[in-house]
A and B are shown apart, each in its own frame.
Chain A
Amino acid sequence: MPDRVLRYGLSALALAILGLIVFFFVRLVGQAQPAFSKFGVVGFVFTNNWNVNAEQFGALPLVVGTLITSGLALLMGVPVAVAAALYLSELCPRVARGALTILLELLAAVPSVVYGLWGIFFLAPKLQPAEQWVADRLSFVPFIGGGVVTIPNYFIAGLILAIMILPIVSAISREVMATVPADHKEASLALGATRWEMIRMAVLPYCRSGIVGGAMLGLGRAIGETIAVTIVIGNAPQLGKHLFGQGYTLAAVIANEFGEATGLHRSALFAAGLVLFVLTLIVNALARLFVIRAGRRTGGPTANVEPEPGAQPLAPPPAAAATATGGGSGGGGGR
């Protein structure tokens, strides 16, 4: 009897999670309906006009703002995160590795509102002269140069997001790098490769899809990040004219305007939430796909079998052959 209670109780819990998400989706669509029926789904997403007073709601400035800031975050965050992961997993002396890893993970523990506070009162004012210098020097480059640098702007938002996604991208990269078979690395070193050549030829190709998956997960985080961005982006509902100007994102518009919104405005904010939901869903599904693909490869038989039979042209001694087959069957027959 208690067995059945446990079994059906737990199953009910698991099913409740499915129900919850479907329920949420349906209710969100219901709330967003007035905005969608007035402007049309395509019209809502692709019209460049977010005017609360005129009751006109086209979310293009928000969508573009979200894409610009999260794109910047990837551009600045992923290379640093992957390089740091490579350093920690391949080059770092063993003594320092644990401490450095914990420090890097602590970045993920800092609450988003604290990033916002620090970003707007420390980072943005400190970087403003440098940003203005770049904008003046590159005034001939569209979007980057020219214009007056405001303290809250796209670039600062992207930079804060880059810092925020660093820990997750580097953690997943490190996880994948740990699965690279030692044989591959040792083989390339034995052939005379330098450490960098070993990384380039043995480690990186093996982890490519895992790293891409980690970056996509970071992208999902960056798209959905709300509070820090709301504080540092300036909340101006227009298509950004340049990199160092104020903008808006989908998540920020909800946090900023929902409190005093009514009627169609509120419905438009729910619609913005729905767009955000779908966007993060797609990005996360793609990310899982990449990570799963990376996982499947490491689960393959070549990763477990220690002495590669194909690599030995001569018949292996019987003892080695016995351990090889023993190890293989043990790994394959998971109970």
Chain B
Amino acid sequence: MSEDRLARLALSGRRKFKDRAVRGAMLGATVVALVPLVLILYYLVHKGLSAWSASFFTTDPTGQSFFANKGVGGIRSALLGTIVMVALASAIAVPVGIGVALWLVEYGKDSWLAKVVRFFVDVLTGVPSILFGLFIYIVLIVGTGTSFAGYKGSLALALLMLPIVTRSAEVVLLLVPDALRESALALGAPRWRMVARVVLPTARAGLVTGSLLAVARAAGETAPLLFTAAFTYKTSFNLGGFMNSLPVQIFNDVTSPTEALVNRAWGAALALVVLVLLLNLSARLISRTGRVA
């Protein structure tokens, strides 16, 4: 009998109930958090696939908007513009970002300058993306008196990518064991050789993952491109002129909505999400091949 009472004391009905209720609520919150993802993906596929066709990817968008689907054209210039601009942005941001991270890990370490640089990189991470667009606008459009251009859009995207690349690269470089560095130096390798032959190869998978995530982020950004690369219908590989991009075209189609333009926006959005998710997925797969986790 006394054992019975002890058991009841140990876990009263109220405590048990509370425990169950809260655990249920937490499971519920997790489900609630995932509902938007499911809804977005479902709706995107549902609406987007009906806009897709072979010609959707091979024709430029047109200025027509009041006729049926076939009048509005596709997303060729936007898709190619996004790829070209993001490629240039990555070519700038990835080497610079990894370079800054290398400095922080190999040279700066815990010096006050490194702390200041780290702080400013953190500041950059928090800067709203539209402000990068404004910055490039002030410097390269007001400052030079010239007009919008694809390379200016790339620079704005590069600014956005830079802190992401640096932060992720720093974490990975810190994981490279010091014993490896010391053995390279002990064998008589100069510092630059140690960095090039030991540190970078060891961290390679992690560096690629971080960079790919930054690329994925940049590919989906609209705000930095609005006042830097602007918008155009025609396909163009001239980085010195106006360039179209998927996010900007979607934004324009959403904010001037007619039925046909909205359909084009859904199709373009599905293409954009597929592109971004592929980049994310490959980043995750590559990170598994890493030598340092």
Mark A residues whose CB is within 8 Å of B.
Answer: 2-3, 5-7, 9-11, 13-15, 17-18, 20-21, 23-24, 27-28, 31, 79-81, 83-84, 86-88, 91-92, 100, 102-104, 106-107, 109-118, 120-122, 163, 166, 170, 192, 194-197, 199, 217, 220, 223-227, 230-231, 251, 254-255, 258-259, 270, 273, 276-277, 280-281, 283-285, 287-288, 335
Contacts and interface: CB of A to CB of B under 8 A. Distances in A.
Contacts of B10: 192
Name the 4 nearest CB pairs between A and B, nearest first. A224-B128, A111-B220, A83-B29, A284-B126
Given A251-B128, A281-B123, A194 B27 contact: no
B117 A27 contact: no
Contacts of A270: 134, 138
B226 A100 contact: no
15 contacts: A3-B192, A6-B191, A14-B113, A14-B117, A83-B28, A87-B27, A109-B216, A111-B221, A111-B273, A114-B220, A166-B33, A194-B16, A226-B223, A227-B223, A285-B123
B269 A100 contact: no
B272 to A, nearest CB: 6
A167 B108 CA distance: 32
Given A195-B23, A259-B227, A288-B119, 17 more contacts: A13-B99, A14-B104, A14-B108, A17-B121, A17-B124, A83-B30, A91-B23, A102-B284, A110-B273, A111-B269, A111-B272, A112-B220, A113-B251, A118-B43, A196-B18, A224-B129, A231-B251
Interface stretch (B34-42, B51-59, B61-69, B201-209): B34-42
Given A11-B103, A13-B100, A288-B122, A114 B30 contact: no
Contacts of A80: 29, 32-33
Contact of A10 (B100, B116, B227): B100
B287 to A, nearest CB: 12
Nearest to A87: B26
A9 B96 CA distance: 10
B161 interface: no
Contacts of B195: 6
A120 B28 CA distance: 26
A7 B105 CA distance: 12
Contacts, number: 232
B1 interface: no
Nearest to A11: B103
Contacts of B15: 194, 197
A57 to B, nearest CB: 16
A331 to B, nearest CB: 15
B37 A27 contact: no
B191 A280 contact: no
Contact of B251 (A13, A116, A166, A258): A116
A14 B114 CA distance: 8
- Interface of A (DSSP majority class): helix
B24 to A, nearest CB: 10
Contacts of A121: 262
B135 A284 contact: no
B255 A21 contact: no
Contact of A276 (B32, B128, B250): B128
Given A109-B280, A194-B15, A14 B100 contact: yes
A86 to B, nearest CB: 5
Nearest to A217: B126
B135 A28 contact: yes
A224 B130 contact: yes
A193 to B, nearest CB: 9
Nearest to B117: A14
Contacts of B121: 17
B127 interface: yes
A13 B123 CA distance: 16
B122 to A, nearest CB: 6
Nearest to A104: B33
B23 A17 contact: no
Contacts of A5: 192
A113 B33 CA distance: 19
B147 to A, nearest CB: 13
B266 interface: yes
A122 to B, nearest CB: 5
Contacts of B39: 118, 122
B178 interface: yes
Contacts of A122: 39, 43
B130 A84 contact: no
A92 B221 CA distance: 34
A25 to B, nearest CB: 10
Nearest to A79: B29
Contacts of B280: 106, 109
